[in-house]
Chains A and B, each alone.
Chain A
């Protein structure tokens, strides 16, 4: 059942009426939830941004799903990057100020994995956006026409969840 929902999410994201740019922006935003520790303050902000900004929510959930295993795999890298940044003497005044700033202190930025993953995600956001936009465009131009005739695609489109999804569709 979960797998079916995931497939629904992916197919909808790729075939929705949103532009490739909106889907790519959703995927790039959703990557935050996958790459960085989920229960962090910045992810609440990212979630609200995904809802308020005119990006594909299906793309957002697809990005989240796709990047969860990547996040786990890259944890040692995030740990190292965060460790380097937090231990850098030149950045110590900045971290000290942030650590003593209301709300910001609650973000957990002073953890190596949180900081490393957020920094990597922010750095990868634009490349990810452009790569995804190109991939979605290519997909729609080549594979989409063949897929829409398949039974799976028709089942997905007919489901009740799809109607709910249409409410948020860009």
Chain B
């Protein structure tokens, strides 16, 4: 039997050639589809390419007409790039790795309109995960309101608040139930742990031996007595240990109860905040006022920043551990694809050098051409071994020259360390309505935005600062010129007028946002000179009303929860007393008996019948510790 079918060599070669031809004809389409699919998955909106051309012989890739739709505004592009030229490393392609030696991006434009919607029709559950995460973070930021109506007169309807809607009673009930469980468990443990028989026996033995004359006992009686005492010491010690164990259990339970009582205090504070919200009693602390005034505007501007931070977190992990991702889509099960990074090898995706020309259109001071450079952008920084560095600067001759964007992303070690410093002058921010004030604020087109962001491990710290020296306040409608009777105190018109008087004369605005905390959900705190001034004005104008409303709310919350809180505290104290009474006192009694028994044991073991041995200096007697 022959092994090879030599006449099939030519057809086999033809099959191979056919495979090569089909691959050559379809690779551009495959690259286009892959970029569109992966991009849409990451962004959460359509990523479209007009064309893609991969030339293997020259190892270069040209992408044309790249449009990335804005997931929040499907009829607008986040970014549009007419042409991207990338020089690839051909050897790395054979290892299924995309190593871009250099890439040139020309004519990048932001916020361009789209002809068709960029919304995805069949989004997978993981599509736009990062966008959703950022939106979730923004929606979770507490936004105080600046509602002054609730401060005046009968609007503060505190009696309508039900105790069912408060957290404190629930927390109190929980602690009470915990206390009941602890008491039941303690009583069950004590039932099997009655120390009285042991204590009584020990007392009887002590009394018997104390009444006996040890010197008259013969050696057998002395040995028997010593044995009795030792046995009793063992029993007492065992009982004491069991009582100690029960006490430790009880103490642990009591600590948990005390934590619960602390939780009641926290719940009470939360209830106060909750009731403030219910009766429209806003906080007039300066940070809260700043958040109420500028929260939406600032979060809107921080959204892209947090998007990129989260995107980097999702797709640029530190370390060299094998990574898993969902396998390619096919008729068969997709499975899981493992990546096995190898230090000092090529990463799966690497852009060694990239240069981009960016154009910001319009007539604002920020309009013009910019150039950006990125080196070492990779999905596996630990494999690449060098941090990613990026910078941008203005390249056109007009406009301010002091724009600065510098950043590094160092994930070569186990702890990621990223930093970003940005100074953007001449930013045009559209006029926006300031919530609850009936006024709008135009920051002009000369605002300066500074940003400093640092990330070390899971912690993110950042400072975003906007300053504008020539702001213009405007009142909505014709209320600025309205004449007529003075508005009723507490009415919306009165509140608006009060706010207007305090902000209208502020010519310069400075807003500072501080980001701190875990990367997944950092805290955002705002401060502003406008917020400070307004908080001061409101407190001065409405100090008495504020105090009255505050005290009403506090009194109402206290009246709803005080009884239950006091009862819980009483029950916890009673339980503490029970623990001391049922465990502490018997243990003390047993400890005393143990001492007496040890003393007796020493006496019994020190006696030689009829002879009292003298104590030798420096030599302890037998039985003495």
Contact = CB atoms under 8 A, between A and B. Distances in A.
B505 interface: no
Nearest to B337: A111
A48 B91 CA distance: 25
Interface string B85-123: 000000100111100000000000000000000000000
A112 B336 CA distance: 5
Contacts of B339: 99, 110
B91 A112 contact: no
B332 A99 contact: no
Contacts of A72: 332
Contacts of B1: 19, 21-22, 54
> Which range contains the number of A residues in contact with the other chain?
35 or more
A107 B224 CA distance: 86
Contacts of A87: 322, 338
B19 interface: yes
Given A79-B335, A82-B335, A51 B95 contact: no
B188 interface: no
Contact of A92 (B95, B322, B334): B322
Nearest to A94: B340
Given A44-B19, A47-B15, A95-B340, A168 B335 contact: no
A170 B4 CA distance: 10
A99 B340 contact: yes
B11 interface: yes
Nearest to B326: A111
18 contacts: A47-B15, A48-B12, A51-B5, A54-B3, A72-B332, A79-B333, A86-B322, A96-B342, A99-B340, A105-B94, A105-B95, A108-B328, A110-B340, A111-B327, A111-B328, A112-B338, A113-B334, A116-B335
Given A111-B335, A112-B337, 16 more contacts: A37-B330, A39-B330, A52-B9, A52-B12, A54-B3, A79-B335, A95-B322, A96-B342, A105-B95, A105-B96, A110-B338, A111-B338, A112-B336, A113-B327, A113-B333, A113-B334
A95 B338 contact: yes
Contacts of B97: 105
Interface residues of B, number: 34
Interface in A38-84: 39, 44, 47-48, 51-54, 71-72, 75-76, 78-79, 82-83
A52 B95 contact: no
A116 B336 CA distance: 11
A96 B344 CA distance: 12
A142 interface: no
A48 B8 CA distance: 9
B2 interface: yes
B334, B335, B346 — which one has the most chain A CB atoms within 10 A of its CB? B335
A110 B327 CA distance: 9
Contacts of A114: 335
Contacts of B327: 111-113
A160 interface: no
B332 A37 contact: yes
Contacts of A97: 342
B383 to A, nearest CB: 10
Nearest to A47: B15
A106 interface: yes
A92 B336 contact: no
B8 A52 contact: yes
A100 B322 CA distance: 13
Contacts, number: 106
A36 B332 CA distance: 9
Contacts of A95: 322, 338, 340
Contact of A112 (B8, B16, B335): B335
Q: Which 4 A-B pairs have the closest CB atoms?
A: A113-B335, A102-B94, A112-B335, A75-B333
A52 B333 CA distance: 31
Interface in B337-371: 337-342, 345-346
B342 A54 contact: no
A102 B95 contact: yes
A47 B15 CA distance: 9
A54 B4 contact: yes
A102 B339 CA distance: 15
A100 B94 CA distance: 9
Contacts of B15: 47-48, 51
Nearest to A99: B340
A86 B323 CA distance: 11
B501 to A, nearest CB: 68
B332 A168 contact: no
A167 to B, nearest CB: 8
Contacts of A106: 94-96
Nearest to A37: B332
A101 interface: yes
A101 B3 CA distance: 30
A103 interface: yes
B91 A102 contact: yes
A86 to B, nearest CB: 4
Given A100-B342, A102-B94, A113-B333, A51 B11 contact: yes
A59 B417 CA distance: 59
Interface in B1-54: 1-5, 8-9, 11-12, 15-16, 19
A168 B96 contact: no
Contacts of A37: 330, 332
Contacts of A71: 332
A86 B337 CA distance: 9
Nearest to B348: A99
A29 B336 CA distance: 25
B5 A168 contact: yes
A113 B338 CA distance: 11
A113 to B, nearest CB: 3
Contacts of B19: 44
Contacts of A51: 5, 8, 11-12, 15
Contacts of B322: 86-87, 92, 95
B336 A83 contact: yes
A53 B4 contact: yes
A44 B322 CA distance: 28
A101 B94 CA distance: 8
Contact of A54 (B5, B91, B94): B5
